[in-house]
């Protein structure tokens, strides 16, 4: 295994995933809408229960963490599902790549999207609660 070749294969999957997500309006929508709804509903619940500020912070950190991980893992799942739906997964295994190239490339994009959701939700928490 050569490192430049492996990095090129990983970047190919990451770039493919970026292109698919860029054109998918629903992926962008669910990246903003559902985490926003989660923070809003959990924040309102903590206000209704009149919890102490330390407990509110703890609960909101849990909600932010859960949604960040969910968005990051959804990217990997969607990438594999798109290949199955387009009947192109068998071509991936015929090509001179490993499963690790596919998983690492899509995970990088998932981590970037998760980081973006983390920042957006953190700003939303600071602004609302």
9-31 per-position pLDDT tens digit: 899 989 998 888 888 888 888 88
Residue 1 pLDDT > 70: no
Tokens at residue 34, please?
């559902």
Identify the residue whose tokens are 């939303």. 124
- Tell me the three state secondary structure of residue 2: coil
Half-sphere exposure of 8 (CA within 13 A, CB side): 6
Mean pLDDT of all residues belonging to the chain: 88
Q: Are 71 and 114 in contact (CB under 8 A)?
A: yes
Q: Kindly report the CA angle at 115 between 114 and 118, in degrees rounded to 5?
A: 85
Q: What's the whole-model pTM score?
A: 0.81
The pLDDT of 74-98, averaged and rounded, is 84
Sequence-separated (6 or more) residues with CB below 8 Å from residue 74: 30, 110
Mean pLDDT over residues 46-56, rounded? 93
pLDDT tens, 95-126?
Answer: 888 888 888 999 999 999 999 999 999 898 88
Alpha-carbon dihedral sign for residues 99, 101, 104, 105: negative
Task: Tally the C-alpha atoms within 13 A of residue 62's C-alpha that lie toward its C-beta.
Answer: 9
Question: How distant is the alpha carbon of residue 29 from its chain centre?
Answer: 12
């Amino acid at each position: 295994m050569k490192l430049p070749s492996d990095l090129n294969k990983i970047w190919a999957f990451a770039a493919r995933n970026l292109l698919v997500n860029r054109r998918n309006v629903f992926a962008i929508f669910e990246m903003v809408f559902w985490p926003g709804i989660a923070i809003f509903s959990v924040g309102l619940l903590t206000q209704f229960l009149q919890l102490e500020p330390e407990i509110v912070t703890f609960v909101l950190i849990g909600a932010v963490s859960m949604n960040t991980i969910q968005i990051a893992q959804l990217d990997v799942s969607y990438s594999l599902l798109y290949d199955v739906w387009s009947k192109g997964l068998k071509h991936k295994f015929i090509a001179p790549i490993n499963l690790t190239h596919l998983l690492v490339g899509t995970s990088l994009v998932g981590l970037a999207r998760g980081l973006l959701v983390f920042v957006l939700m953190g700003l939303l928490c600071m602004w609302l609660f």
